[in-house]
Amino acid sequence: MQEDFLWYIWKFKLFNTPDLFTTSGEKIQIIKTGEHNTDAGPDFINARIKIGSTEWAGNIEIHSAASDWTKHNHTNNKTYDNIILHVVHENDKQVIRKNGEEIPTLELKEKIKRNVYEKYRELQFSKDWISCENQISSVSKFTLNNWLDRLMIERLERKSATILESLKQNKNNWEECFYQMLARSFGQKINSDPFELLARSLPYSYLAKHKNSLLQIEAMLFGVAGMLEPVTGPRQDDYYKELQKEFSFLSKKFKLEPLNISIWKFLRLHPVNFPTIRIAQFANLILKTAHLFSKVLEAGSIKTLEALLQTEASTYWNSRYRFGVLSPHKKKNIGKDFITNIIINTIVPFLFIYGKDKNNEEYCKKAILFLEQLQSEKNSLLSKWENLGIKAKNAYESQALLQLKNEYCSKKRCLECNIGCALLSNN
């Protein structure tokens, strides 16, 4: 019997509660099951129970077997001195305190409602896309919507943790941190790490000093990316040579070191997503938008944000996807879906954590509002949710559904999920 299931059973009292007795025969009355403790120490804190005629306040420890108390070395741990009740599935050993007193024990082996445990096992061993896909339609809209609200905030807080770590590394420089995370978003999944490494290797302040020259901005970005190393062949066209010449000067001025070009991935990418194109688009965005983070904070609408992020690669790239290799003429504008992705995964989390950090609720509200105004992303996970009758109306809901699938359903965390709990409680 898994302990997480026993935690759930205890928390919601899903066992036969009349005539509860300790293993030594004293009557038990549960007044308050306590608060589930997810940190180190007892499983439930601040519980209240009555044993015999005495009322106790303290902590509850739960184990599959009573002997786990000894296995986990609780006897010599002062944290467990104030345990008022030891709840076990099977009482296979008498457990005593350090002072020799027996710890009151409740055995649940014959008291757990069988249909609840069967439903739990069915969820845990299901091989469906999500464990409850044949039952989720029976969950009330109220339960589902409230849970999605909590998941959305949870997802924002998870993304915010990454930003906070970057902010710490950048000595609380919001502009520099935003520049690095924005660069990461230009790499999408495949090249996100190389793009972030590029931004960390090339401070925003260096680019800002040459904000009037696209050639110099491109030279620094492509140069530090390792894409301007001396070569022979078709790559050596006039523009490539100009970039090399500029980088040769700027690399000495700022002491810049090129990255290894092998970190960039081109294989199995659609040409419009080649890192060469994304770097060129990123360079133009840097050129046309000084103090971008400040302008993001001031933006009052999605349209304003979209206009800020709208950019394109320089004209050289109209007929190329790689240096020196000609292709049919096509302007390399940044797409609407790509902009939406940046807003959802970079700008919204930044607004949210900035509001938290500055104790300004307006930025947090704006972050949520932008998600509600944006259309839902389109991917295979969201299509499968839609097949189950749960269609995201906007990015707020789609982000919540992604969090649900990735952090709960895929990890079989049914007992921590409000949907799973509702299904088990109904049974």
pLDDT of residue 233: 57
| Phi, psi (degrees; rounded to nearest 5) at 211 | -70, -10
Question: How many Å apart are CA 404 and CA 147, to the nearest integer?
Answer: 9
Q: Is 393 helix (H, G, I), strand (E, B) or coil?
A: coil
pLDDT of residue 231: 62
CB atoms within 10 A of CB 378: 11
Cα end-to-end distance, the chain, whole Å:
19
Cβ atoms 378, 401 nearer than 8 A: no
Supply the pTM of this predicted model. Answer: 0.82
Q: Which of 217, 322, 332 has the alpha carbon at shortest distance from 261? A: 322
pLDDT of residue 234: 57
Question: How many Å apart are CA 177 and CA 81, to the nearest integer?
Answer: 46
Report the chain's C-alpha Rg in angstroms.
29
What are 152's two structure tokens? 């959305």
- Tell me how many helices (H) and strands (E) the chain has: 18, 9
Q: Is 91 helix (H, G, I), strand (E, B) or coil?
A: coil
* Residue 78 β-bridge partners: none
Q: What is the pLDDT of residues 256-288, one digit of tens each?
A: 999 999 999 999 899 999 999 999 999 999 998
Low-confidence ranges of the chain (pLDDT < 70): 231-235, 427
What are 364's two structure tokens? 């947090």
Chain centre distance of CA 155: 5
| Phi, psi (degrees; rounded to nearest 5) at 292 | -60, -40
Q: What is the DSSP letter of 129?
A: S
Interacting residues of 171 by C-beta distance below 8 A, sequence separation 6+? none
pLDDT of residue 289: 86
pLDDT of residue 177: 96
Q: Is 60 helix (H, G, I), strand (E, B) or coil?
A: strand
Q: What is the DSSP letter of 97?
A: -
Q: What is the DSSP letter of 334?
A: P
Q: For the CA atoms of 175, 181, 187, 193, what is the dihedral angle to 10 degrees?
A: 120
pLDDT of residue 232: 56
